[in-house]
Amino acid sequence: MAGLYFEEFEVGHIFEHELRRTVTEADNMLFSNMTLNPQPLHIDFDFASKSEFGQPLVNSLFTLGLMIGISVNDTTIGTTVGNLGMSEVKFPNPLFHGDTVRVETEVKAVRESKSRPTQGIVTFVHRAYKQDNTLVAMCERAALMHKTPE
């Protein structure tokens, strides 16, 4: 499935992404180790069991990447030039091993590029929820998008 071109995005449209993913212990351990993040809240079960959460937390940067990754098939696959930035990144509730993530994406803004006539900028608001509909992550993301080829 191809992503959408710049002109196909409408402010206010909300994508309810069908793709979902259950996060595993292996995901969390691998990501934390690959990114050299030794935070014991992620990788030390004994340490995490004594925290207020009582168990390891899923690495928030994994959660951020998963949230945006889930959105790609419906929005930007093959039609984006690149990400321009992410802001307003928040993790209001923890994500744990065994939680299943679903994502929705809202189109917040659409504007022509001032310097690239064949491209435009789309601002997305991504929201990730776990299986009980608790919000676990959100961010705004600006993407430079191709316009429909002539």
Collapsing DSSP to helix, strand or coil, 56 comes out as coil
* Residue 29 to residue 46: CA distance in whole angstroms: 14
Q: State the total domains in the chain.
A: 1
128: domain CATH number is 3.10.129.10
Taking 60 as the threshold, does the pLDDT of residue 3 lie above it? yes
Domain membership of residue 93 as a residue range: 6-146
Structural domain includes residue 1 = no
19 in a structural domain: yes
Which phi and psi (to 5°) does residue 21 adopt?
Answer: -150, 130
Percent of the chain with pLDDT over 70: 99
Segment 69-88 shows an average pLDDT of 94
Q: Is residue 38 part of a domain?
A: yes
Name residue 145's beta-bridge partners.
Answer: 80, 120
H-run or E-run covering 22? strand 21-22
Each residue's pLDDT tens digit, 124-138 = 999 999 999 999 999
Q: How confident is the model at residue 2 (pLDDT cuts 50, 70, 90)?
A: confident
pTM beyond cutoff 0.85: yes
Ordered DSSP codes for 94-131: ---TT-EEEEEEEEEEEEE-SS-TTEEEEEEEEEEE-T
Q: Identify whether 116 is part of a domain.
A: yes
Report in angstroms the alpha-carbon separations of 150 from 5, 10, 146: 12, 20, 11
Percent of the chain topping pLDDT 90: 96
Residue 67 has pLDDT above 70, yes or no: yes
